[in-house]
Amino acid sequence: MMLDDFMTRAALAGIGVACAAAPLGSFVVWRRMAYFGDATAHAAILGVALSLALQISIFAGAVAVALAMALTVTVLTGRGYAMDTLLGVLAHSALAFGLVAVSFLSGIRIDLMAYLFGDILAVSRGDLAVIWGGAVLVVALIGWRWSALLTSTLSPDLAHASGIDPRREQLILTLALAITVAVAIKVVGVLLIAAMLIIPAAAARPLSRTPEQMALFGAVIGAVSAVAGLHSAYLLDTPAGPSIVCVAAIFFALTSFVRGLRA
Amino acid sequence: MSLVSVQNISVGYGATKVLRGVSLEIDPGEILTVVGPNGSGKTTLLRALIGAVTPASGRIERGAGLRIGYVPQKLHIDPTLPMTVSRFLRLPGGATPTQIAAALDRAGVPDLSNRQMSGLSGGQMQRILLARALIGQPNLLLLDEATQGLDQPGSAAFYRQIEEVRAATGCAVVMISHELHVVMSASDRVICLNGHVCCEGTPEIVSAAPEYQALFGTGTGGALALYRHDHDHSHDATCGHDHAHDDSTTKAAE
């Protein structure tokens, strides 16, 4: 069967993450939440450590800590803390505490690099099911709330006037972000998740005239980057996660160049 | 039966009370203008009407079948967000192409549907926001400083458009403005707000009221007449000059 091949499983995992990351990443770009996404992802390493210590699923632990992190930031910014300071404090503390916590788990031999930079070539059938399950959930969630999310992104007051509660939409986006972070750990690792969110969406921007096009082109660019990145990692013997991000970055440079020519 | 009945509301952000004991009724088909100095709570009142802030006390009764069309003060669209005018007008309700064309027509900008939102001039943007508010066929139109950033003929033209919309659709209009001389003459009723309702009545009554004159001085009474002789001066927001200007700013922005 085709899933027996680890390269096929890796490619499918990458495509799954790209499909979830593009629509979500578009909102991250539009709402200027790039650093917020980064912080949520960094916090997930603490979730990984906790899952290993408590022997629960890594996915569940990462979702829980990423969500807790995102909610804490949202609540505290509402109380007048500066967003960037707050993210700097919480994200890096969570990362540091996570790394320290992992070092206490001496009983288990853990390849920390696998969580920091991903281990897409080791994706199992079970991982694949989790990744695609999470991706479908995220796409369904964002698709369901698409118009409401877009309206709240444009203007919270316009949303209110249309009977939409922008805080609820923000919460939905936060939940989608936590799920995406958790499923992407295996593929690109916590340090490069934000790249998979932002780079394909940003690369799609010059090609798009509507928000829907940007999400769609972003998914295509992300999926092609995943497959091409894996292929080059295989040929050049380079780490797979970073190779995927490199290809996406090249797409970004190309579309920016094309836009530069048109203008 | 009034469309909206605001009964003795108070609104505060933290310790600051922005509105204290404000009551007003909005009747079907009337043009009501709320004037007041900066920080007088005009925008807060409008945000309470759309439900974006909850009053700490008092209540807002919305009549059955109330459909609000809201025109915000300004709308900044992030350059990273691609958005055509027609896509914007389909948010969030999903209007049909016929409804979009009709709303653009009524707002006086029939040819803009394929333009990018980020490339519109200030006047064009205000008319697109008006078109969007009209799509749901509102019986109450709320405008928050809708002519900020427009020159005087531009805002006079915008207010004439509002009067035409009211005449054609019969919707009530609530406007907030500090451009008293332009706005007041277009209104049926004026409320002067400064945390509380200072005075209210027809434009003539309010501009003669001592409370109003204490806030704004007496000079505006004469300026009221300026607008009335201003009708024949046309300055359309979609003229050729604006287009040329747009393209260059779009490029610069990219």
Torsion angle of the four alpha carbons A91, A95, A97, A100, in this order, in degrees rounded to the nearest 10? -170
CATH number of the CATH domain containing B89: 3.40.50.300
Q: Is residue B223 part of a domain?
A: no
Is pLDDT above 60 for B211? Answer: yes
Q: Which chain B residue's Cα is nearest to A152?
A: B92
What is the per-residue burial (b if ≥16 Cβ within 10 Å, else e) of B128-137? bbbbbbbbbe
Does the residue B32 lie in any domain? Answer: yes
Range of the domain at B101: 4-218+231-249
The yes-or-no verdict on residue B244 having pLDDT over 80 is: no
Residues of B with Cβ-Cβ distance to A150 under 8 angstroms: 91-92
Distance from CA of A212 to the nearest CA of B (A): 9
Name residues 132-161 of chain A within 8 A of B (Cβ).
Answer: 147-148, 150-151, 153-161
Residue range B64-91, pLDDT digits in tens: 888 899 998 888 888 899 999 989 998 8
Give the whole-number percent of chain A exceeding pLDDT 90. 54
Digit-coded pLDDT (tens) for A76-126: 877 777 878 888 888 889 889 888 888 887 666 667 788 888 889 889 999
A261 interface with B at CB cutoff 8 Å: no
Q: Are strands B4-13 and B57-62 parallel, antiparallel or unpaired?
A: antiparallel
pLDDT tens digits for range B87-121: 999 887 778 888 889 888 888 888 888 899 988 88
Show the tokens assigned to A252. Answer: 């970004």
Across the range B43-71, mean pLDDT stands at 90
Residues 195-234 of A with CB under 8 A from B: 202, 205, 208-214
Choose among A148, A158, A210: nearest Cβ to B84: A210
CA–CA dist A31, B28 (Å, integer): 38
Q: Which residues of A touch B47 (CB under 8 A)?
A: 157, 160
Task: Identify residues of B whose CB sits under 8 angstroms from chain A CBs.
Answer: 47, 50-52, 68-70, 72, 75, 77-78, 80-84, 87-88, 91-94, 116, 142, 251, 254
Sorted by where each begins, the domain ranges of chain A are 2-262
Substitution target in B45, B67, B68, B81 with the highest count of A β-carbons within 10 Å is B81
CB A19 within 8 A of CB A223: yes
- CATH classification (class only), A2-262: mainly alpha
**Is B70 part of a structural domain of the chain?**
yes
Count Cβ–Cβ pairs < 8 Å, chain A vs chain B: 70
Average pLDDT of chain A? 89
Percent above pLDDT 70 for chain B: 82
Residue B142 lies in a domain: yes
Q: How far is Cα B211 from Cα B72, in angstroms, rounded to an integer?
A: 28
* For B69, nearest residue in chain A (alpha carbons): A161
Are the Cβ atoms of B82 and A160 closer than 8 angstroms?
A: no
Based on the structure, what is the number of domains in chain B? 1
Pairing of strands B189-193, B172-177: unpaired
Residue of B nearest to A164 (CA): B92
pLDDT digits (tens, 9 = 90+) for B110-150: 888 889 998 888 888 888 998 998 888 889 999 988 777 77
Write the CA distances from B3 to A77, A158, A168, A178, B52, integer angstroms: 37, 20, 28, 43, 18
- Domain for residue B214, yes or no? yes
Over its C-alpha atoms, chain A yields an Rg (Å, rounded) of 18
Q: Per the domain annotation, does B242 fall within a domain?
A: yes
Among B70, B82, B251, the residue with its CB nearest the CB of A211 is B82
Q: Is residue B224 part of a domain?
A: no
Judge whether B254 lies within some domain.
no
CA B117 to CA B82: how far, in whole Å?
8
